[in-house]
C-alpha cells in the first residue's frame, strides 16, 4: 500500500498575506496550511497526503464533516495539500523515529477510493496478477529530491485521463483482464471485458505476439466513457486509451517509443501525447502549473499529465515515469 502517513521534515514556513493565524508549510514537494507559530523549520512531523482517510479518533474529529478525508483545498488564496500533525499523536507506539518512516498502519490511515459503478466492479477471479505491475504512478511532489536528476532527461508528456485503470495480458497462453486491483471473471455486464471483446484486444495481442515471437505481454490503459467518472469526455459507449506495454517475463516496461509502435500495430489507441521532446522547467512549481490545461479529448479541464523519460530508468527510483495532477482539476472535482 502507498505510504500515506510518513515522518517528514518541515522544509520552510512562509507567511500568508492578510492571515494572522495560519502560514504555509513546505514538506517534500507539498505545501499545506498550518497554524501559525506551532511548527518550526527542520522540525520532524507526521505528514498525511491527500486522498488519505483518517480513522475516527478524537484527535481527528475536526475532519468528521468531510468524512475524515484529506483533500486539496484553497485557504486564503493558497493551495493546501495534505495535513501536518505533531509526533505526539503516535503516543508510545513507535521507538526510534526517523524521517521517511511510514506510519500509515500505525495510525490506521487508509486510502480513499471513490465508489465503484456496478459496470466496473465485476466478479473477482483473484488479486491483481503478480506477473504484471499496477498502473499507479508516483506523484512528483513525493519525488522532489530527484527533480535535479529528472531535469537532465528529455520526456514524453501524455494526458492523464480520468477513468478507470485497465490491464490486459496474455501469459502462459491465457488471456486475462484486470481492474486496478483485481483479476476479473468474464461476465457480460462487466465494462472491462465488454471493451476487451468490442476492441478485439485478445486477438490483436495474440496476432502481434505470434508475428514478433513474443511469449508474454501486458498492455495497460485507461477505461473511459459512459458511466465512468461522470464521462467528462462526453463519449458514446466506452473505450480504452493505452499508455504502457509491459514484459511479464523480463518484468520490465517497454520503452515508450516502442509502446507507441506496438499499440498502433494492434490497431488500438494511445492516450493523448502532448509533447514528445519535453524539457522540465528549472522551477519545480512551474511543472505543477503546467499540469493545468484542457483535455485533448474534450473541452474540459484535464486531470493532469504523466511524464515518461525517453531513455532513462532512474536507479534510485526504479521507474522512468511519474504523474503531475492538476490542482485546478483537484479543486473542482475532488
CA distance 311 to 256: 9
- Same domain flag for 250 and 122: yes
CB 222 within 8 A of CB 163: yes
Provide, rounded to the nearest whole percent, the portion of the chain with pLDDT above 70.
99
Same domain, 107 and 122: no
**Residues 129 and 104 grouped into a single domain:** no
State which of 60, 79, 111 marks the end of a domain. 111
CA atoms within 13 A on the CB side of 213: 0
- 3-class SS at 174? strand
d(CA 262, CA 256): 10
Q: How confident is the model at residue 317 (pLDDT cuts 50, 70, 90)?
A: confident
Residue 1, pLDDT score? 62
The label of the residue with cell 505510504 reads 3
pLDDT single digits (tens) 152-173: 999 999 999 999 999 999 999 9
Give the containing element (helix H, strand E) for 246: strand 238-247
Rounded to a whole number of angstroms, the distance between the first and last alpha carbons of the chain is 21
**What CATH number is given to the structural domain containing 96?**
2.40.50
Tell me which residue range forms the domain holding 91.
5-111
Q: 26 and 63 share a domain?
A: yes
For residue 307, what is the domain's CATH number?
3.30.470.30
Cell of residue 31, nine digits: 505545501
Confidence of residue 50 (pLDDT cuts 50, 70, 90): very high
Q: Are 294 and 300 in contact (CB under 8 A)?
A: yes
- Among candidate residues 58, 77, 111, the one where a domain is terminated: 111
Average pLDDT, the chain: 95
Predicted TM-score of the model (pTM): 0.93
- Confidence bin at 315 (pLDDT 50/70/90): confident
Place of cell 513525493: 142
Distance of CA 11 to the CA centre of its chain: 24
Do 102 and 124 lie in one domain? The reply is no
Q: How many domains does the chain have?
A: 2
Whether the predicted pLDDT of 14 surpasses 70: yes
Does residue 237 surpass a pLDDT of 90? yes
Same domain, 175 and 273: yes
Query: How confident is the model at residue 58, as a pLDDT?
Result: 92
Domain check: are 89 and 208 in the same one? no
User: How far is the C-alpha of 134 from the C-alpha of 208, rounded, in Å?
Assistant: 23
**pLDDT tens digits, one per residue of 173-201:** 999 999 999 999 999 999 999 999 999 99
**pLDDT value of position 101:** 95
State the angle between helix axes of 191-198 and 201-212 in degrees (0 to 180), rounded to the nearest 10: 60
Instruction: Please tell me whether residues 154 and 295 are part of one structural domain.
Output: yes
DSSP string for residues in 103-172: -HHHHT-EE--PPPPHHHH--EEEESPTTS---PPPBGGGGGGGHHHHTTSEEEEEEE-SSEEEEEEEET
Cα–Cα distance, 129 to 178 (Å, whole number): 8
What pLDDT does residue 265 have? 98
Residue-wise pLDDT tens digits, 251-292: 999 999 999 999 999 999 999 999 999 999 999 999 999 999
Rg (CA), the chain: 21
Q: Indicate whether 334 pLDDT > 80.
A: no
The answer to whether residues 50 and 138 belong to one domain is no
pLDDT of residue 158: 98
Burial class (CB in 10 A: 0-12, 13-18, 19+), 138: middle
pLDDT at 128: 96
Domain end marker among 91, 111, 131: 111
Amino acid at each position: 500500500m502507498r505510504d500515506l502517513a510518513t515522518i517528514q521534515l518541515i522544509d520552510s514556513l512562509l507567511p500568508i498575506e492578510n492571515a494572522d493565524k495560519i502560514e504555509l508549510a513546505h514538506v517534500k514537494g507539498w505545501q499545506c496550511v498550518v497554524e501559525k507559530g506551532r511548527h518550526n523549520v527542520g522540525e520532524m512531523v507526521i505528514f498525511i497526503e491527500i486522498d488519505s482517510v483518517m480513522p475516527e479518533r478524537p484527535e481527528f474529529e475536526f475532519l468528521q464533516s468531510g468524512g475524515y478525508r484529506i483533500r486539496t483545498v484553497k485557504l486564503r488564496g493558497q493551495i493546501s495539500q495534505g495535513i501536518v500533525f505533531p509526533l505526539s499523536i503516535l503516543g508510545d507506539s513507535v521507538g526510534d523515529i526517523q524521517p521517511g518512516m511510514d506510519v500509515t498502519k500505525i495510525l490506521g490511515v487508509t486510502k480513499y477510493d471513490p465508489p465503484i459503478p456496478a459496470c466496473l466492479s465485476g466478479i473477482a477471479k483473484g488479486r491483481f496478477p503478480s506477473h504484471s505491475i499496477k498502473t499507479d504512478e508516483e506523484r512528483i511532489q513525493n519525488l522532489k529530491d530527484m527533480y535535479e536528476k529528472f531535469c537532465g532527461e528529455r520526456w514524453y508528456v501524455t494526458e492523464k485521463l480520468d477513468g478507470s485503470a485497465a490491464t490486459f495480458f496474455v501469459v502462459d497462453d491465457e488471456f486475462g483482464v484486470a481492474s486496478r486491483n483485481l483479476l476479473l471473471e468474464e461476465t457480460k455486464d462487466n465494462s472491462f471485458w465488454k471493451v476487451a471483446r468490442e476492441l478485439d484486444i485478445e486477438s490483436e495481442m495474440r496476432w502481434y505476439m505470434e508475428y514478433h515471437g513474443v511469449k508474454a505481454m501486458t498492455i495497460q490503459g485507461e477505461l473511459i466513457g459512459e458511466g465512468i467518472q461522470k464521462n467528462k469526455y462526453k463519449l458514446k459507449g466506452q473505450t480504452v486509451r493505452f499508455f504502457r506495454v509491459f514484459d511479464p517475463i523480463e518484468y520490465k516496461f517497454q520503452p515508450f517509443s516502442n509502446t507507441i509502435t506496438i499499440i498502433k500495430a494492434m490497431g488500438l489507441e494511445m492516450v493523448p501525447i502532448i509533447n514528445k521532446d519535453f524539457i522540465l522547467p528549472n522551477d519545480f512549481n512551474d511543472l505543477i502549473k503546467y499540469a493545468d490545461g484542457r483535455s485533448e479529448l474534450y473541452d474540459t479541464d484535464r486531470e493532469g499529465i504523466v511524464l515518461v523519460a525517453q531513455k532513462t530508468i532512474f536507479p534510485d527510483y526504479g521507474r522512468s515515469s511519474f504523474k503531475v495532477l492538476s490542482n485546478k482539476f483537484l479543486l473542482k472535482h475532488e
